[in-house]
Structure 1
Amino acid sequence: MRADPRPLLCIATPAMADANNGNWQTARRWQRLLSGHYRVALARHWAELEGPERPAALIALHARRSAPAIADWAREAGGAPLVVVLTGTDLYRDIAHDADARRSIGLAHRLVVLQERAPLALPEALRARCRVVFQSCPARAPLPRPRTFLRAVMVGHLRDEKWPQTLFEAARAIAPHEGIRIDHVGGALDAALGEAARATAAACPHYRWLGPLPHAQVLRRLQRAHLLVHTSRMEGGAHAILEAVRCGTPVLASRIDGNLGMLGEAYGGYFAPGDAAGLAALLRDCREGMNAADGRLAGLAAQCRARAPLFDPERERQALLDLLGELRPGH
């Protein structure tokens, strides 16, 4: 039997299938996208791989959480290519305060970020090593949506970085008779936020906390929603945003770099981080003209359609292949 000629590539991810979080989804998707050109192995640390063959290159997700794998590779791999992917909290928090995260980005031959404003958060001396790779998902057609009320959905586990308190306060500012219904998908990683979600649901019949749901159900809810609401205070490049855009569902998002880099500077659906009143006003504006061709909702949908090609799987595949091609010997 002929040996497989594809080079071995390791993606070091701090989360595996049991976590089913953003890092795992990125690692698994990149494994699929690159499988035609590489044998791609996923592990928390490249040294865990079976067999004597050392990978030709390492892609490590998260500068702080994958710091041991990054440091060991830099010390032991003889200068073989090292790519460090900054996925969110490492970019917007850790590299400012954590020595391991700073060491990781300094060791990398290439840095990858997930949206177009992210390079601005890096030290200027490292930006030349940085490449933007937008995450992707297949396009999906919208499903029938209500015409008598506005359905908004928020997707994200209840934790501080997602700032769900903004949604809770907006729900309380909206009266049940206003024709706005809010579904909130995500597990309570913070028990206090789970209690706040339950209290909001008890006080506001138009708000439902659905807890964690299988990914297929989340996608169907996005396809049936008029809007995705995204309230994060810190974000590397939210998968929920690109999935909504690829479903034809516009977004209301906090004005932070992670969202600006996904949706564009000129996008018309931003509110200030933590501004529940501003979010409620945008929801009301979208509800008022939800069936009008020239309403805010239609305008946001048109802007999202223009961004949708950025999140195409073939575009992501080619960006990854180009990145790895830059690191081949002799390039």
Structure 2
Amino acid sequence: MNITLITPAPPGSRAGNRATAERWSQLLEQAGHRVNIVTEYNGEPCDLFIALHAWRSSAAVVRFRATHPDTPLIVVLTGTDIYDHQHRFPDITHESMILADCLIGLHHRVGRDIPARFTGKLTTVLQSADRPAPPSGPKAGFDICVIGHLRDEKDPLRAALAARQLPETSAIRVINAGKAHNPEWEDKALAEQNTNSRFRWLGEVDKYAVHQLMNRCRAMVISSFMEGGANVVSEACRAGLPVIASDISGNIGLLGDDYPGYFPVGDDTELARMLQRIEQSPDFLGELEVRVKELAGRFTPQAEQASLLAAIERAAAGHARFNP
């Protein structure tokens, strides 16, 4: 098939949606398809159209459906679509969902968080990650990583605030890797680094540096207010790195209802207690490590490719059913 995939993230961007588009392109091309990634849609024909973002790609979705009513259409629901835009801009966001033959959600709880009338179109595709090389030796110190861009919905300094509450005897340091979304976030990160001896901000780093950071850290914190299914959770599981996660749908939908490493979203006091527990209890830290290693098989490229191909089949079948 000739597939067009639209994403709002331009070439060279390290935004998650660009990484998803490029990874999916590779997986689909390995399966024999041809993929053209675009940031704008001008009406060109294709055999299948995939839109990352129901809201941000809404104009392209509407144009595609009007121009090519006989071609299957997949819309991928991001975290901002599900937990922000469908509430602030329901008409636009839901129109994309109505026009889609198949909806892709990136975690297992998406069906609970969208209107029931759309769940019949929903397919789950869990994002994959490469398995990093194992650490070259035992881990020193007790570093905790936070990986992701610094922006409001990520609540990226929550672990740093929690670290301020730890006792003086704690060896925990919080290492944050991620680009500041704007000058305000850069100022916040630098101010926190200057006043919090337990916090270091690396700024934006490449994938190799992320893998190196994961290899030297004891756990990763993902403290987001909203997530559509963060790829960094997949990366941590594949690395065997214990995850401490805010108790939001996007994290629970990846790690499972009974995962023991959740803290109440936005609560740095409870996060501090969780950090202290993993430092003081090797058994608890070991339990989290076992759990993420058990989950790692869900996040392989092979599993993601199979789910993508199933979504394509569902889109084609759905289009034929609704457009006989």
Q: Which of 218, 223, 226 matches 2:210?
A: 218
Deviation of the 1:78 alpha carbon = 2.2
| C-alpha contact (below 8 Å) 1:176/1:206 kept by paired residues | no
Match of 1:4 in 2: none
CA contact (8 A) 2:74 2:315 kept: no
Q: Higher mean Cα deviation, 88-97 or 58-67?
A: 88-97
Please report how far the alpha carbon of residue 238 of structure 1 lies from its aligned counterpart in structure 2 after TM superposition: 0.7
| Equivalent residue letter for 2:183 | A
More displaced stretch, 140-149 vs 99-108? 140-149
Structure 1: distance between partners of 2:137 and 2:253: 28
1:19/1:43 CA distance change after superposition, 3 Å: same
Paired letter, 1:117: R
Distance 1:174 1:200 in 2: 16
Q: 1:325 aligns with which of 288, 308, 313?
A: 313
- 1:306 aligned partner: 294
The match for 2:304 is 316
Q: What is the CA distance between 1:24 and its match in structure 2? A: 0.4
3-state SS of paired residue (2:202): strand
Q: CA deviation digits over 1:49-71, x for unaligned, max 9?
A: 6xxxx110100000111011100
| CA deviation vs aligned residue, 1:258-303 (integer Å, no higher than 9, x gap) | 000011010011000011011111111111123xxxx110000111
Q: What's 1:27 paired with?
A: 21
Aligned residue in 2 for 1:44: 39
Deviation at residue 205 of structure 1 after TM alignment: 1.8
C-alpha distance 172-59 of structure 1, shift in aligned 2 (>3 A): same
Runs of 5+ unmatched residues, structure 1 = 1-6
**Per-residue displacement from partner, 1:29-77 (whole Å, max 9, x unpaired)?**
000000032110000234276xxxx110100000111011100011110
* Mapped partners of 1:145, 1:106: distance in 2: 52
Deviation at 1:176, TM superposition (A): 5.1
Say yes or no: does 1:239 pair with 2:218.
no
Structure 2 match to 1:172 = 164
Deviation at 1:305, TM superposition (A): 1.1
From 242, 245, 256, give the equivalent of 1:253: 245
Structure 1 stretches (4+) deviating beyond 3 angstroms? 144-148, 327-331
Displacement of 1:206: 2.1
Match of 1:266 in 2: 258
Return the alpha-carbon distance in structure 2 between the equivalents of residues 145 and 182 of structure 1: 21
Q: Which moved more, 1:75-84 or 1:161-170?
A: 161-170
Q: Distance in 2 between matches of 1:325 and 1:79?
A: 15
Q: What CA deviation, in whole Å up to 9, does each residue of 1:105-163 have, x standing for no partner?
A: 11111000000011111110110100000000122343156555311000011110001
Q: Say which SS state the counterpart of residue 42 (structure 2) adopts.
A: helix
Contact 1:252 1:270 in 2 (8 A): yes
For the Cα contact (< 8 Å) 2:159–2:174, is it kept in 1? Answer: no
**Residue 316 of structure 2 aligns to a residue in which SS?**
coil
Question: CA–CA distance in 1 between the matches of 2:133 and 2:207?
Answer: 16
Question: What CA distance in whole angstroms lies between the structure 2 residues aligned with 1:31 and 1:276?
Answer: 39
Shift of 1:80: 0.8
Given that residues 96 and 102 in structure 1 are in contact (C-alpha distance below 8 angstroms), is that contact kept between their aligned partners in structure 2?
A: no
Report the counterpart of residue 108 of structure 2 in structure 1.
116
Percent identity, please. Answer: 33
Q: Deviations over 1:159-193 (max 9, x none)?
A: 10001242231122124541111101112114333
For the residues of structure 2 that align with 1:274 and 1:134, how far apart are their CA atoms?
Answer: 25
Letter in 1 for 2:34: R
Which residue in the other structure is 1:85 paired with?
76
Task: Tell me how far apart the structure 2 counterparts of residues 68 and 147 of structure 1 sit (CA, whole Å).
Answer: 49
* Residue aligning to 1:156: 148
Partner of 2:3: 9
Whether the 8 Å contact between 1:9 and 1:56 is mirrored in structure 2 is yes
CA contact (8 A) 1:141 1:248 kept: no
Partner of 1:75: 66
Distance in 1 (alpha carbons) for counterparts of 2:150 and 2:316: 42
The 2-side partners of 1:278 and 1:194 are apart by: 26
1:94 corresponding residue in structure 2: 85
CA contact (8 A) 2:109 2:253 kept: yes
Let me know the Cα RMSD of the aligned residues. Answer: 1.7
Which 5+ residue runs of structure 2 have no aligned equivalent?
A: none
Partner residue, 1:3 = none
Contact 1:237–1:262 (8 Å) recurs in 2? yes
Q: What TM-score do you get using the length of structure 2 for normalisation?
A: 0.93
Paired with 1:276 and 1:142, the residues of 2 have a C-alpha distance of 31
| Equivalent-residue separation in structure 2 for 1:147 and 1:123 (angstroms) | 46
1:130 aligns with 2:122: yes
Residue in structure 2 matching 1:189, options 159, 181, 188: 181
Count of residue pairs brought into register by the alignment = 317
**Is this contact kept in 1: 2:103–2:122, CA < 8 A?**
yes
